[in-house]
Structure 1
Amino acid sequence: MRSDNIKIYIYPMQFVLLWLFYGCSNFTDVDLPSSQLTSGTVFEEKSTANAAMLDVYSKIRESGILTGYTSGICSQLGLYADELQFYGASGTGLANYYNNSLLATDPQIAATWNSSFTQIYSANAVIEGLDRSKALPADFKQQLKGEALFVRALLHFYLLNLYGPVPYITSTDYKINSNAARMPEKIVYDLIEKDLEESINLLQKVYNGSYRVRPNKATAQTLLARVYLYSEKWEEASNMASAVLNQSDLYVWPTSLDLEFKKESKATIWQLMSNIEGANTYQGNVFIFIQGPPPSMALTENLVNAFSNGDLRKTKWLKAVSNGTVTWYHPYKYQEKSNTATSLEYPVVFRMAELYLIRAEARARAGDLIGAKQDLNKTRNLAGLGDTAAVEPAEIIDDVLTERRLEFFTEFGHRFFDLKRLGRLDKELSPLKPQWKTTNRLLPLPQSELTLNPNLSPQNAGY
C-alpha cells in the first residue's frame, strides 16, 4: 500500500493548523478568512495538498453520516427503519432512533448535521486552495478537485435525503454560510448533478493508489446513477450504470459472497480506507457480538424471515448467536470485529450490485423487462437463487425492491431511503413500529442551527 495513503497526520505544522481550522464545531462558526487555509505551502506542494484531501476522507470515516460507528446511518437508519432491533439503554440517542422519537434538541441530530457541514467545508477549502494554487501540476489539481467535488455532492445527497431541503454550501466564507437558506429539493439535486458532472470530467478512469480508496471517474458516475434513480430519470440512470458496468477490465462480478466485502474485491467501486494498518471496519466492531443477549442491537426478526430458503446471504451475511433458548442474528458482511495484522476489510460505500439493481429498476420502469430481469438475476444467482419468476413490470419492480432490501441491509440507509423515495414508509413501518408517524420521513433540523440561522426555518413538520 502506498505510504502517502496511510500517513495522514505526519505532515508539516502548516497542515496541522489547517486541520485545526477544519475541526470547527459547526459550519457557521468559521470566521477567519479562507485565504489562511489556502496560503503558505499547503497547496503549493503535492504532499500537503494530498494530505488535505486525505484528511477529508479520514473525517468521513471517523464521524458523521458515513461513519461505521453507531453515530452513522448504518446503525441509526437501520434502527429507524426495520432492519435492527435495539437492546441498549432507554433514553439514549440510538433508542430515540429505534423508537422514532427524535427531537430537534437531541445532541445526535446536531452532531450529524454539524459533522457533515464540517466535512463539506473541508472539501470546499480543498477546492478553493487548488483553484488558487499556481505551483501544483494541472493533472494533480484536476484529480484532487474532482475528488473534492464528488465528496461535496455525496454529502449534500445524504443531507437532502435525511432532512429535506438544505443549503448547498460551496464556499468557506462564513458570512455566506452563516446565512445560508434551505433550497428546494429540485435545486439541490441540480447542484449535486452539476458537481458530479464536473467531477466526472476531472477524474481519471484509473484509481489513484491502491484498494480503490480514492474516488475515480466511475465512483462519481455511480453516485450520479443513484441520483438519477432517485430523480426518476430512468434512461439516464440506466445509461450511467452501464457506463460503469461496461468497464470489465476494472470491475469483475464476484464468484462468491465470501469475497464481496474483502478489501481486494474487484466488485468494489469505492471504499473508505482505515487510518492505520491493521484496523478493519467500525461496522464489524459495532454489529458483531459473541454471546447473547445483544449488547446494543441485532437484526430484526422481520428482516431475518425475509430471506427465502436457499438464499446464501442468510448463511453468509448473517450470523446466529444463541444462549440455548433464544437465537439472535447480527450482520456478518464484515467479519472482523477487531484489528488484525494487516487490514482485511474496508467499509464499502459503492459496489457493482447497486449498479445492477439501479439498472434493473430503471429498465423495468422504462419498459425493458428482459434487460431488467437479467440485471435482477445477477444478485439473485450469486445468492444461490434461481431467476426471478416476475413477468409484469410491477412484479419485476417489486422483486427489485425486495432484492435491494436483502442485498443492502445495514449499508448506509438504503432500506430507509428506498421506502422514502417510493412513498412506502407508512405501509411498511406502521405495523412494526408503534410510534411511527408520517412526518418521520424527515429528521428534525437541529434547534441550535435554527436559532443561529433563521434562514433555515421552518422546522420540518412534526417537530
Structure 2
Amino acid sequence: MKSIFIHLKQGLIALILLTSCENFLDLDTPNTQLVSAEVFEDKKTTDAALLNIYASLRDSGLFTGNNSGMTYLLGLYTDELDLYSINLLGQKEFYEHTLSTRNELVLTTWNTSYNQIYRLNALIEGVEKSTLLENQYKQTVLAEAYTMRGMLHMYLTQLFGEIPYITTTDYLQNKIVHKTPEKEIYERIEQDYLTAEELFLKGTKNTSKTRLNLTSLKTLKAKYYIQTKQWEKAKQHANDVIQTAGVTLEQDLSKEFLKESKSILWCFSPHLATGNSLEADVFMLNALPPAFVSLKPTFVNSFEKGDQRKEIWIKKLNNNQGTWYQPYKYKAPNTSSTVNVENSVLLRLAELYLIRAEANFQLSNFREAENDLNLIRKRANLPMLSNLSQHDLEQAILDEYKHELFTEYGHRFFDLKRWNRLNELQNSIPTWKPFMEKLPLPEKEILLNNNLKPQNDGY
C-alpha cells in the first residue's frame, strides 16, 4: 500500500469481499463476490462488514497487541520497555530514538489506520443508503462506525500532528487530500462522537463489551475532553461512566483483565473462540535473557513499596545472568489449546477515575482529585494521600497514570505529552529530543501526495 489512494481502494475490496476473520466466509454469497450495495441488504452481511473492521483493529495498526501496535512501540519510545532483539529494526528505531521518514512501522501504522478509516466510510455510506435494514439496527451500526472513525483520527493526530481527516470514499478527492489543521481535526472528532451519541440513543441497546456502545463512547469522549482541556466536560463524562449500572472498580487486581471483570468497558474478541490476548504472547519471557523486550528496571523500581500492581501485574524472572521483568497484566497464552479467559482491554474504569482526578485538579478541586486517586491507590494497597501541595498532587496524578496504565496503548507517551512533560524523558533517555513529540510523516506518502507537506519538524 503506497498511498492513501491505493490502500483506500484495497480497503473497499476488503470490505466488499469480506475475506477477513470472524467467520466471514460463511456468508451465502456466490464466489464471495459482493457489490457494495449487496453488503447492506441484510443484517448478516452488514454485521460481517462491521466485525471485519473490529477484527482489523485487533490484528493490525494502532490498537493491535502485537509488536507493531502502540503498546509495544510507544513502550519502547518512552521509559517502559527495553529492547533486546537486534532483528526488529523498525522497533529499534523507536527504542533508540533514531526514527526516519522511511521507518516501515510508521508507514504501516499510517496505511493501516487509513485503510480502516476507509472501510468505516464505506460502511457508513452503505448503511445510510440502505432501504432494507431495520432503522434501529442501522442507527446502532452507524454509531459504532462514527465512534471508531473519530477514535482513529484522535490517535493519529496525537501521534503525527496535522493529518488528513477522511470522511469519504471518493478516491479522486482522497488521492490529493491536504492535511487538516489540528483545531479542525478535533472539531471533526467531536462531531463524529456527537453524531455517534445521538445514534446510540436511538438505536438498539447494546451491552456487549466486545462492541462499542454508549458507555464506551462516553469514555472516549471523556478522553477527548481531557485532551482538549475541556475540564468540566471531561469530569461530567467520567462521572457518567463511573455511575453506569453494572460497571464497578474491580478490587481484586488479579481479576482486572479477566473477561468477566466489571471494570472492563471495551475489549476485543479473540481471533479464535479458545484464544486470548495478543499481549500475553508478545510480552511472555520464554527464555532468559529475553529475546525481545522486558520492562525497564528503572520503571519497575519507580513503584512505591507495597504497590500490589507491581506484585500482580509484573512478573520477576532471574537466572545466573541477571533479573528481568515481564509485563504480566495478561497471563493466559493465546493458543488454540487454551480457553478464552482474557481479552485485550482497550478501555477500563480505572482510567475514568484518573481522568476525573485530572479534571478536578485543573479545576482546583484538589481534595476531590485526591479522593479519586485514593480509590485507585486503595485497591493497590497503598497509603491514602492527604492535603498534598498542588505540585505534589500533580506528580501524584502522573504517577498513578504511569503505574495503573503501563503497557496499555501508549498511555505513558500520551499522558506526558498532554501535561507538556514529555521532555522529562531526557532524565532517563539521553537520546530524547523535543521534536520527538511527533512521529515523522511517511516519506512514501509525501512523495505520492505533495499536499501532505511539510514534513514534521526534526525529520
- TM-score (ref. length: structure 2): 0.92
Letter in 2 for 1:313: R
Q: CA deviation at 1:208?
A: 3.2
Letter in 2 for 1:338: N
CA distance in 1, matches of 2:31, 2:393: 52
> CA 1:179–1:14 in structure 2 vs 1: closer, same or farther (change >3 Å)?
farther
Q: Give the aligned partner of residue 462 of structure 1.
A: 458
Q: Secondary structure at the match of 2:40?
A: coil
2:323 is the alignment partner of 1:327:
yes
Deviation string for 1:248-299 (max 9, x for gaps)? x220111200111011111111011112111111111000113310110000
2:124 equivalent among 113, 119, 127: 127
1:156 equivalent among 153, 176, 194: 153
CA distance in 1, matches of 2:305, 2:433: 33
Are the equivalent residues in 2 in contact too, given 1:15–1:52 (CA < 8 A)? Answer: no
2:70 is the alignment partner of 1:73:
yes
Q: Give the aligned partner of residue 435 of structure 2.
A: 439
Q: Give the aligned partner of residue 293 of structure 1.
A: 289
Q: Give the aligned partner of residue 369 of structure 2.
A: 372
Structure 1, 439-448 or 200-209: larger mean CA deviation? 200-209
Are the equivalent residues in 2 in contact too, given 1:99–1:433 (CA < 8 A)? Answer: no
Letter in 2 for 1:188: I
Q: Give the aligned partner of residue 194 of structure 2.
A: 197
Deviation string for 1:175-231 (max 9, x for gaps)? 111111111211111111111111112125986364x00001011110110111011
CA distance in 2, matches of 1:14, 1:364: 59
> CA 1:265–1:14 in structure 2 vs 1: closer, same or farther (change >3 Å)?
farther
> CA 1:335–1:371 in structure 2 vs 1: closer, same or farther (change >3 Å)?
same
Letter in 2 for 1:305: N
CA distance in 1, matches of 2:302, 2:115: 38
Q: Secondary structure at the match of 1:235?
A: helix
Are the equivalent residues in 1 in contact too, given 2:417–2:437 (CA < 8 A)? Answer: yes
Are the equivalent residues in 1 in contact too, given 2:137–2:204 (CA < 8 A)? Answer: no
Are the equivalent residues in 1 in contact too, given 2:140–2:204 (CA < 8 A)? Answer: no
Q: Secondary structure at the match of 2:265?
A: strand
1:354 equivalent among 336, 351, 356: 351
CA distance in 1, matches of 2:47, 2:31: 11
CA distance in 1, matches of 2:103, 2:221: 32
Q: CA deviation at 1:403?
A: 0.3
Q: CA deviation at 1:106?
A: 1.5
Letter in 1 for 2:373: L
Are the equivalent residues in 1 in contact too, given 2:289–2:321 (CA < 8 A)? Answer: no
2:404 equivalent among 403, 407, 419: 407
Are the equivalent residues in 2 in contact too, given 1:146–1:199 (CA < 8 A)? Answer: yes
Are the equivalent residues in 2 in contact too, given 1:156–1:168 (CA < 8 A)? Answer: yes
2:342 is the alignment partner of 1:345:
yes
Letter in 2 for 1:443: L
1:85 equivalent among 82, 87, 105: 82
CA distance in 1, matches of 2:93, 2:255: 35
Q: CA deviation at 1:390?
A: 4.7
Letter in 1 for 2:111: N
> CA 1:319–1:49 in structure 2 vs 1: closer, same or farther (change >3 Å)?
same
> CA 1:370–1:171 in structure 2 vs 1: closer, same or farther (change >3 Å)?
same
Q: CA deviation at 1:338?
A: 3.3
Q: CA deviation at 1:91?
A: 6.6
Letter in 2 for 1:257: L
Deviation string for 1:97-151 (max 9, x for gaps)? 1001111111111111000000011111111011100000000000000000010
Q: Secondary structure at the match of 2:343?
A: coil
> CA 1:358–1:15 in structure 2 vs 1: closer, same or farther (change >3 Å)?
farther
Q: Give the aligned partner of residue 164 of structure 2.
A: 167
CA distance in 2, matches of 1:14, 1:104: 43
Q: Secondary structure at the match of 2:223?
A: helix
1:380-395 correspondence to structure 2 within 5 Å:
380-395=377-392
Q: CA deviation at 1:10?
A: 2.2
Are the equivalent residues in 2 in contact too, given 1:153–1:196 (CA < 8 A)? Answer: yes
Q: CA deviation at 1:6?
A: 4.8
Aligned residues: 437
2:246 is the alignment partner of 1:230:
no
Identity %, equivalent residues: 38
Q: Secondary structure at the match of 2:164?
A: coil
Question: Structure 1 stretches of 5 or more lacking a match?
Answer: 19-35
CA distance in 2, matches of 1:8, 1:161: 33
2:275 is the alignment partner of 1:279:
yes
Are the equivalent residues in 1 in contact too, given 2:231–2:360 (CA < 8 A)? Answer: yes
Are the equivalent residues in 2 in contact too, given 1:52–1:126 (CA < 8 A)? Answer: yes
Question: Structure 2 stretches of 5 or more lacking a match?
Answer: 1-20
Q: Secondary structure at the match of 1:329?
A: strand
Structure 1, 199-208 or 127-136: larger mean CA deviation? 199-208
Structure 1, 89-98 or 56-65: larger mean CA deviation? 89-98
Q: Secondary structure at the match of 1:395?
A: helix
CA distance in 2, matches of 1:191, 1:120: 14
CA distance in 2, matches of 1:353, 1:225: 13
CA distance in 2, matches of 1:358, 1:287: 27
CA distance in 2, matches of 1:68, 1:323: 28
Q: Give the aligned partner of residue 7 of structure 1.
A: 23
2:310 is the alignment partner of 1:314:
yes
> CA 1:12–1:434 in structure 2 vs 1: closer, same or farther (change >3 Å)?
farther
CA distance in 1, matches of 2:365, 2:436: 34
Q: Secondary structure at the match of 1:203?
A: helix
CA distance in 2, matches of 1:307, 1:391: 19
Letter in 1 for 2:23: K
> CA 1:318–1:17 in structure 2 vs 1: closer, same or farther (change >3 Å)?
farther
CA distance in 1, matches of 2:24, 2:395: 45
- TM-score (ref. length: structure 1): 0.91
> CA 1:15–1:242 in structure 2 vs 1: closer, same or farther (change >3 Å)?
farther
Q: CA deviation at 1:61?
A: 0.5
Structure 1, 225-234 or 386-395: larger mean CA deviation? 386-395
CA distance in 1, matches of 2:74, 2:275: 24
Are the equivalent residues in 2 in contact too, given 1:15–1:48 (CA < 8 A)? Answer: no
